[in-house]
């Protein structure tokens, strides 16, 4: 079943002002429960605006959003809070999410709103902090006096602590060091696998979405350009480049090799696939 569905979703910022901006234009989407979706699209294409509709932070200018089959804006005020617990959203700028005196209190904020007991809150905070690689000592710090990457971990922990059914992360690895990036992506993949939840990651890293996502949602100028399996999404670098996007470096390498007539297999998306492909090419050359 579709866990998120939109019908003719349109969103206009500053309607009626001279700076009116149609950020989403007639979006019709259906995302099945359990998918791991990579959301890509040029700067300003509408990614952040779109996902804020998925946990009822933004209200469509027109059109509908359904979560688990329920029309979000017809369900009544009381239901809105529930959608925000079910669909956890990590913002693009962690600063927009951190406001408490300590990192601990920030991570505890969601579970507390959910009405959990102090004991359970404490358990979830420590678990989430550990999960994202924040030390116990870091929990007592002010979220404003830690480094950029540490802020991002804290923001992610704050959403994981609610154990959402749908986890949406807006550029979760921006600003993380390579080890942190791998750690966070692995833990998201782990969360996806062990909980069977649906995950959406907005990312400008083609390497990361190629590696982790099963489907790709491509946004372009306020519209959905395509929603398709990852391999198909990266099969035509030209098309992506024309939209300000790209393919992973390793994909580009094999693409060039095939343009030179040296490679003729399927699209290479990861290092492991590249290794297998190159071994096959060399093996083939030797036999010939």
Number of residues located near ligand ATP, criterion CB under 6 A: 20
- Sole window of 119-127, 144-152, 249-257, 274-282 interacting with ligand ATP (rule: CB under 6 A): 144-152
**Residue 177 lies near Mg ion (rule: CB under 5 A):** no
**Residue 57 lies near other proteins (rule: CB under 8 A):** no
CA distance 86 to 195: 13
Q: Tell me, letter by letter, the H, E, C secondary structure of the chain.
A: CEEEEEEEEEEEECCCCCCCEEEEEEEEEEEECCCEEEEEECCCCCHHHHHHHHCCCCCCCEEEEEECCEEHHHCCHHHHHHHHHHEEEECCCHHHCCCCCCHHHHHHHHHHHCCCCHHHHHHHHHHHHHHHCCCCHHHHCCCCCCCHHHHHHHHHHHHHCCCCCEEEEECCCCCCCHHHHHHHHHHHHHHHHHHCCEEEEECCCHHHHHHHCCEEEEEECCEEEEEEEHHHHCCCHHHHHHCCCCCCHHHHHHHHHHHCCCCCCCCCCCHHHHHHHHHHHHHHHHHC
CA distance 166 to 67: 10
Rule CB under 6 A: which of 1-60 touch ligand ATP? 13-14, 21, 23, 41, 43-49
Nearer Cβ to other proteins, position 3 or 245?
A: 245
Provide the residue count of the chain: 288
User: Whole-number minimum distance, CB 167 to ligand ATP, in Å?
Assistant: 18
Measured from the Cβ of residue 192, the count of other Cβ atoms closer than 10 Å reads 19
Six-digit token pair at 108?
Answer: 């505890």
**Residue 204 lies near other proteins (rule: CB under 8 A):** yes
CA distance 199 to 194: 12
User: Whole-number minimum distance, CB 54 to ligand ATP, in Å?
Assistant: 13
**Residue 12 lies near other proteins (rule: CB under 8 A):** no
> Which of 10, 33, 82, 175 is the binder for other proteins (CB under 8 A)?
175
Rule CB under 8 A: which of 86-115 touch other proteins? 92-93, 95
Nearer Cβ to ligand ATP, position 150 or 251?
A: 150
Tell me which residue has tokens 């927009």: 96
Nearer Cβ to ligand ATP, position 45 or 251?
A: 45
**Residue 225 lies near other proteins (rule: CB under 8 A):** no
**Residue 280 lies near other proteins (rule: CB under 8 A):** no
> Which of 132, 169, 250, 269 is the binder for other proteins (CB under 8 A)?
250
- For residue 281, the partner it binds in other proteins, Mg ion, ligand ATP, none, with Cβ less than 5 to 8 A by kind, is other proteins
**Residue 19 lies near other proteins (rule: CB under 8 A):** yes
**Residue 172 lies near ligand ATP (rule: CB under 6 A):** no
Contact residues for other proteins, defined by CB under 8 A = 13-14, 19, 21, 41-44, 48, 92-93, 95, 145-150, 171, 174-181, 204, 206-207, 241, 244-246, 248-250, 252-253, 256-257, 260, 262, 271, 274-275, 278-279, 281-282, 285-286, 288
């Amino acid at each position: 079943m579709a866990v998120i569905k939109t019908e003719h979703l349109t969103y206009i910022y500053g309607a009626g002002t001279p700076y009116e901006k149609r950020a989403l234009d007639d979006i019709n989407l259906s995302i099945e429960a359990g998918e791991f979706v990579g959301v890509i699209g040029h700067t300003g294409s509408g990614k952040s605006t779109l996902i804020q509709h998925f946990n009822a932070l933004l209200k469509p200018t027109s059109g509908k959003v359904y979560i688990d089959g329920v029309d979000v804006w017809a369900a009544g005020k009381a239901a809105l809070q529930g959608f925000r617990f079910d669909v956890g959203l990590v913002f693009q700028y962690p600063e927009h999410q951190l406001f408490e005196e300590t990192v601990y209190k920030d991570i505890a904020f969601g579970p507390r709103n959910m009405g959990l007991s102090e004991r359970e809150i404490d358990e979830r905070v420590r678990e989430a902090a550990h999960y994202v690689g924040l030390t116990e000592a870091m929990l007592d710090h002010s979220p404003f006096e830690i480094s950029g990457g540490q802020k991002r971990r804290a923001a992610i922990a704050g959403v994981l602590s609610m154990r959402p059914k749908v986890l949406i992360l807006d550029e979760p690895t921006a600003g993380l060091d390579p080890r942190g990036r791998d750690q966070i992506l692995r833990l998201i993949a782990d969360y996806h696998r062990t909980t069977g939840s649906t995950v959406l990651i907005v990312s400008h890293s083609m390497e990361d979405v190629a590696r982790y996502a099963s489907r790709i949602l491509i946004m372009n100028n306020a519209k959905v350009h395509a929603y398709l399996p990852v391999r198909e999404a990266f099969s035509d670098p030209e098309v992506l480049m024309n939209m300000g996007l790209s393919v992973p470096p390793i994909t580009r390498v094999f693409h060039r090799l095939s343009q030179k007539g040296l490679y003729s297999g399927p699209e290479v998306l990861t290092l492991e696939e590249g290794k297998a492909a190159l071994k096959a090419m060399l093996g083939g050359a030797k036999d010939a």
